[in-house]
Structure 1
Amino acid sequence: MNLALFDLDHTLLQIDSDHAWGVHTTRIGWTDPEAFALRNDAFYAHYKAGTLDIHDYVRFATDAVRERGPQAAAAAHADFMREMVLPALLPAARELVEQHRARGDTLLLVTATNEFVTAPIADALGIEHLIAVQLERAPLPDGSGDWITGAIRGVPSAREGKVTRMQAWLAERGLDWDRVHCTFYSDSINDLPLLEKVQVPVATNPDDRLRAIAQTRGWRILDLFEKLT
């Protein structure tokens, strides 16, 4: 089985969807502009540095969603997709995904952003399999269903967790690493563990540290938004 694995933020998407969702919640009046922006930017800096405490970040990032409830959150996310995400899904990214689809590869979006933010983006790209940070859910007080609690369920798909979650995905299908051929596209040094695991690592719009490693190891470097737009 040939697998094409894609990171999302700054790999297929020109923005960081997690950070942008936070900006969107402020724009629609769900969060205090100054206080939220300071914390959101600080978490984003930790992410880029590889020092993010993902549990703390997910609690922070889902606060507004948890308080507003599922219906309001779904409506806000639809606006977010239209206003911020779809304009940042450039033809270059769609073309790359479609190249792998045309080859018959199985497509997976493997992201450290939570499933609430990313599931509609995977749908927009036509990627069936999503490995994202899973959110714990609990029954709503009114008995109308369940909703997110702000906690992470299971192993977060960040750094080494992406390897763990991919291994679980393979095992669920009776597969292991020796029975698949994987190509993985990522921009981030945070994804080095999974890049080192696959047969074809592709440093895509890489940050400076990942670019240096890719050059040293002879990995393919794809400046996607420059070359394919």
Structure 2
Amino acid sequence: MKLALFDLDHTLIPFDSGMAWTRFLVARGVLSEDAESVYLGYCQQYVDGSLDIRELHQVSVAPLARFGLAVLRQWAAEFEAEMAPRVPPEMRALVRRHQGEGHLCAIVTATTWLIAEPFGRLFGVPDVIATPSLVVDGALDGAIDGDPCYGAHKLMHVKRWLAARALSLDTLEQSWFYSDSISDLPLLGAVSNPVAVCPDARLRAQALQAGWPIFERA
């Protein structure tokens, strides 16, 4: 068995899915017009280390708590249709190449499942391992249910997903993980074929030092 894993934001897609989702909701009047700048400010705090991923998830998801899951899923379907033209053909081809060779494929992302699953459908990847959101009385309450799919926890989520299929990274014939971020170093280091995709500066330095291939999107 061979495995191919793909990060989402700035890897399979050349943009931040959370920002795209925010703009989508602003355009529909669900969020206020300043939501985009507010989200960007939180993202900047997250990148510079002054905001924890749980806090970022809270501020991103909490405004949707007043809507039921049925409404959110309908919006997610509309969001999927809007995102379809923005999927890079070369990344879709990369995924299809792995699928065509019979590899087990999954998208693994820190993004909340509500935003990530539409991209799973766009790429034809049924298995999406994303940050789980806590559901209370049929609605999201903003909290993460368990551990975020981020950093070392991303590796943990992958291990659990594989274990449910009676598989493990240690026993797979080969495994790939494509990512742009140094935060994914735990999972990159756990696969047999790590690939840096348009990597950030720290991951680029790591890839060059380790001799990992670097994939530059067109």
Give your verdict on TM over 0.5.
yes
The answer (yes or no) to whether the contact 2:67–2:139 under 8 Å persists in 1 is no
The equivalent residue for 1:103 is: 101
Deviations 1:37-69 (A, max 9, x none): 333112222444466412111121112322232
Equivalent position to 2:180, from 187, 202, 209: 187
1:109 is aligned with what amino acid?
I
Structure 2 unmatched ranges of 5 or more: none
The answer (yes or no) to whether the contact 1:156–1:162 under 8 Å persists in 2 is yes
2:140 paired with 1:148: yes
Deviation of the 1:199 alpha carbon: 0.8
Deviation of the 1:209 alpha carbon: 1.7
Structure 1 unmatched ranges of 5 or more: 140-145
1:33 is aligned with what amino acid?
E
2:172 paired with 1:173: no
Deviation of the 1:131 alpha carbon: 0.6
* C-alpha separation in 2, matches of 1:50 and 1:102: 40
Deviates most, 99-108 or 208-217: 208-217
What number of residue pairs does the alignment pair up?
Answer: 217
Cα 1:168/1:123, change in 2 over 3 Å: same
* C-alpha separation in 2, matches of 1:25 and 1:6: 26
The answer (yes or no) to whether the contact 1:50–1:189 under 8 Å persists in 2 is no
Deviation of the 1:147 alpha carbon: 2.3
1:31 is aligned with what amino acid?
L
The answer (yes or no) to whether the contact 2:19–2:36 under 8 Å persists in 1 is no
**Please, what is the CA RMSD of the aligned residues?**
1.7
- Normalised by the length of structure 2, the TM-score is 0.92
* C-alpha separation in 1, matches of 2:136 and 2:11: 33
Matches within 5 A, 1:55-74: 55-74=54-73
Q: Percent identity?
A: 35
1:184 is aligned with what amino acid?
F
Moved over 3 A (4+): 46-52
1:92 is aligned with what amino acid?
E
- Normalised by the length of structure 1, the TM-score is 0.88
Q: Higher helix share goes to which structure?
A: 1
